[in-house]
Amino acid sequence: MPQGVDQMLARIRELQQSLRDELEEKRDRFRYSVEAGRVRFEEEVLTRHRALRVSLLTFFKRPRPLFILTAPAIYALILPLALLDLFVAIYQAVCFPVYGIDKVKRSEHVVIDRHQLAYLNGLQKLNCAYCGYANGVLALAREVAARTEQYWCPIKHAHPVREPHGLYGNFTDFGDADGFLERQTQLRADLRRIKRR
């Protein structure tokens, strides 16, 4: 792998660690901990959150009527998202063992925890759970697709990719036939040892 790419990937890992450190600082600042997957706020903070919760009646008075009319369009996506979730699970279960690729952990991508915030009313909690699920399923599908792409076609595109996935930097350059032939076996082997950073 070219030195520049190695340096960029190392920088990405550093930034990811910085993000984890920042989130840990936020836990301290907002006085909560995570125990067995459940968020626990200090009692004083929890009381303040409950006092800030907007009632459903007040919540429904605020939005413009057109916002409410768009809700069915938003929630209609639950069916294709659930089907995508199901088909990605089946795809991984069937194909990844055959290819020797480590499976993507769903729990690392589909994170639904904002419903635990006491300052949200019931509808806001439902909306937050929906957004967490939707974005999580799409992130999961993207990671599964990225691993598949690294296995079968680890070649960068000739045209710029706006937001390439995390494995894209490892791919061989467009037009580098020798590099592709030399590195394809190694890139496949890397997928057997992939661990989320």
Least Cα distance to 59 among 121, 119, 114 occurs for: 121
Residue 172 phi, psi (nearest 5): -80, 155
At 107-163, the pLDDT tens digits run 999 999 999 999 999 999 999 999 999 999 999 999 999 999 999 999 999 999 999
Which residues have CB under 8 Å from 170's CB, separation 6+? 1, 5, 9, 150, 154, 187, 190
pTM over 0.85: no
Q: State pLDDT tens for residues 39-71.
A: 889 999 988 999 989 888 888 777 778 888 898
- Can you say how many angstroms the Cα of residue 193 is from the centroid of all Cα atoms in its chain? 20
**Maximum Cα interatomic distance, the chain, rounded to a whole number of Å:** 65
d(CA 100, CA 107): 21
Helix, strand or coil for residue 17?
A: helix
First and final C-alpha spacing in the chain: 19
The band of 196, judged by pLDDT with boundaries at 50, 70 and 90, is very low
At residue 176, does pLDDT exceed 90? yes
pLDDT tens digits for range 9-43:
788 889 989 988 998 898 889 988 888 878 889 99
- Which residues are paired to 32 by β-bridges? 41
Average pLDDT on 152-178 reads 94
Phi-psi region of 36 (alpha: psi -120 to 50; beta: other; left: phi over 0): left
Q: Which of 11-15, 73-77, 101-105 has the lowest mean pLDDT?
A: 11-15
DSSP 92-157: HHHHHHHHTPPPPPGGGT----GGG-TTS-HHHHHHHHHHHHHHHHHHHHHHHHHHHHHHH--B--
Rounded-to-integer distance, Cα 187 and Cα 73, Å: 41
